[in-house]
Chain A
Amino acid sequence: MVRESSPCRSQKCRCLLLGLTVILIFGAVAVFAAVIFAGRRDPPAVLLQWKGRGSTDNLKEIMLGRCFTYTEMVNPELRKDCLKIWETFKNAFISKNPCNITEQDYQPLMELAAHPILCNKTLLWSKTNELAHKYTKVQGNFLTLEDTLLGYMADGLTWCGNPSSSEMNYQSCPHWRECANNPSSVYWKMASRAFAEAACGVVHVMLNGSISQPFGNSSIFGSVEVHHLNPKKVHLMKIWVMHNIGGQPSDSCSGSSIKELKSIIEGRNIAFSCEDDHRAVQLIQCVGNPEEPACRVCRT
């Protein structure tokens, strides 16, 4: 009887051992296969190449810092979750083809970061980037898009993603000439539209009278902002046509380009006025050209 039980046990042991070995072998094969196939299914993402500058280095740190600075120091009444804003911003373009960015991609960010603006403070600008911002920096009564949270965070920065990659493309990003629906262009288009829609009261506009067409529908001002001012909120648009100090004026309030703008605005039921070389702005230009006749303090 003792002899009968031991062969049973050893047989059971052997079966168990055999079973375990088979399982181990299968397991190893499965893992091996998984590794091979996984490797095959996800090849390293190819970095697309574009003609424009790559994403700004340390973009996250810069944008987060700007968001906190804006919500704590520039506009302390604003309560925003900067970390959430950054994540929402990133999700708009990460892992996507940077030539296929849509407005829906940025819609969550627009809703998170939008904030109201006081009436009569809006300053729109076209082809007068440097002068407009020098002016608002000195004369704190006006706000450009870049003085709102969305504009403040992104001003002067570049960003784009890459399909099938969670990384930003720091080598290159599409230039607007390569494709219109790139991450930056769509961003600015949407932010500009929101900015125009939020305007109320009197809206000021700084245009460049030293170029051939101060107003045109190729600019964001002409194609987006003009058409998204709300006539129920905005009752007057005041244009300042600024000319290079000492240069030949190319166009002015009486020119055809401004007349075209006037008819569009009045057609939208918004009153219109225009001034050549608004003095307060000209004073900013005079900082660099004090000897010019237009800059003499005692003008007769």
Chain B
Amino acid sequence: MESSDLALQGLMLFLLLFLMGQANVYTRAGEKRWSGEGTNPHLESIFLGRCNEYISVVNPELSKKNCSAIWEAFESVVHKDPCSVLPSDYDLFINLSRHSIPRDKSLFWENNYNLVTAYADNTRRLIPVTDMLYGRVGDLINWCRQENGSGFDYHSCPTVEDCENNAVDSFWKRASSQYAHDSSGVIHVMLNGSEPSGAYPVEGFFADYEIPNFQKDKVTQFEIWVMHEIGGPYLESCGEGSVKILERRLKNMEFKYECINDYRAAESTQQRFPSLFGGKWDPSLLFFLFLALASEIQL
């Protein structure tokens, strides 16, 4: 009987160890550690390509910038623990890649990346943060260090759901702050009035990292465009809901602002058209762009 007990215990122990081993295998190979996409393969080549293209082709005035040094500064941040990366860790990277923004050319936005990118037209019309050197190199890519290693983690990376101080979010916080700080003249803001969670996210990048960094003595006024999907829904417009919160906040900070809806611009009934720049930046332009973007016309 004793031997059979022993045998049984032995078997159970073996089974337990075996199951633990299996579980270990599964967490390593099958399940992902974090909830976000992993580091892009060939990140360094993509980064250097974008940097070199920006300083050689897009904005040759920046030809003296050193892309290798900029990459080194960026990469050194990723040596830190994937959940301990702070915006200030990117200070050297920003120092090396920072450049001036032409007056009246800044474009801030929430929830309408595609429209913003199409409208900005690679710095030809306006210059959103992703058309600045420091924004261009990080646009649409992902990166983080392995949890227990020094190299990049290509399987998954932490998002805000996993931890706040992750490499990518801290990057954009730092870049956005700098971008707002260096902006001057008229500040354009494009919001999405068809977004169910609100056109102006009260706790978004614009609210938390851009508005607090505008320089009062350099900014002349804000021009807010509330865009809607063609055909609706028209959930929020100027003076409504979260847009009203934004307007009130700007007023409290003693900034001048104008707000324009696409819908009213198209109807051309009630809305005033402040022709600040001879109508050049009239948001009915954006309406056409939206039409084209959403165009389902059979060809």
Residues of A within 8 A of B (CB): 56-58, 61-66, 68-69, 72-73, 82, 134-135, 137-139, 156-157, 204, 238, 278-280, 283-284, 286-288, 290-291, 295, 297
Contact = CB atoms under 8 A, between A and B. Distances in A.
B297 to A, nearest CB: 5
Given A290-B284, A297-B266, A139 B45 contact: no
Given A56-B56, A68-B45, A82-B42, A61 B288 contact: no
A58 B49 CA distance: 8
Nearest to B140: A73
Q: Do most interface residues of chain A lie in helix, strand or loop, or is the interface mixed?
A: helix
A64 B118 contact: no
Contacts of B299: 204, 238, 278, 280
B84 to A, nearest CB: 28
Q: Do most interface residues of chain B lie in helix, strand or loop, or is the interface mixed?
A: helix
A283 B119 CA distance: 13
Contacts of B57: 56, 62, 156-157
B41 interface: yes
Interface in B60-112: 63, 67
Contact of A138 (B40, B48, B118): B118
Contacts of A295: 288
Contacts of A297: 266, 284, 287
B279 A291 contact: yes
Contact of A72 (B40, B50, B55, B279): B40
A225 B275 CA distance: 45
B3 interface: no
A65 B288 contact: no
A279 B288 CA distance: 11
A290 B290 CA distance: 13
Contacts of B286: 287
Contact of A287 (B63, B285, B297): B285
Contacts of B140: 73
Which of A56, A63, A290 has most B Cβ within 10 Å? A290
B118 A65 contact: no
Contacts of A287: 119, 285-286, 288-289, 292
A283 B295 contact: yes
Contacts of B51: 61
Contacts of B282: 290
B292 A283 contact: yes
Contact of A61 (B67, B284, B295): B67
A284 B287 CA distance: 10
Contacts of B49: 61-66, 68-69
B48 A65 contact: yes
Contacts of B52: 57-58, 61-62, 65
B134 interface: no
Given A68-B46, A286-B288, 10 more contacts: A58-B67, A65-B52, A66-B49, A73-B40, A138-B118, A138-B289, A283-B292, A284-B289, A287-B286, A290-B279
Contacts of A137: 118
B291 interface: yes
Given A58-B67, A65-B48, A290-B284, A283 B291 contact: yes
Contacts of A73: 40, 140
Contacts of B53: 58, 62, 65-66
A72 B37 CA distance: 13
Which of B42, B47, B49, B266 has most A Cβ within 10 Å? B49
Contact of B56 (A58, A134, A139, A284): A58
A157 B287 CA distance: 33
B208 interface: no
B121 A134 contact: yes
A279 B295 CA distance: 10
A287 B286 CA distance: 7
A68 B147 CA distance: 26
B16 interface: no
B293 interface: yes
Contacts of B46: 65, 68-69, 72
Nearest to B57: A156
Nearest to B122: A137
A69 B45 CA distance: 9
A135 B121 CA distance: 11
B286 to A, nearest CB: 8
6 contacts: A58-B56, A64-B48, A65-B46, A72-B40, A138-B292, A280-B297
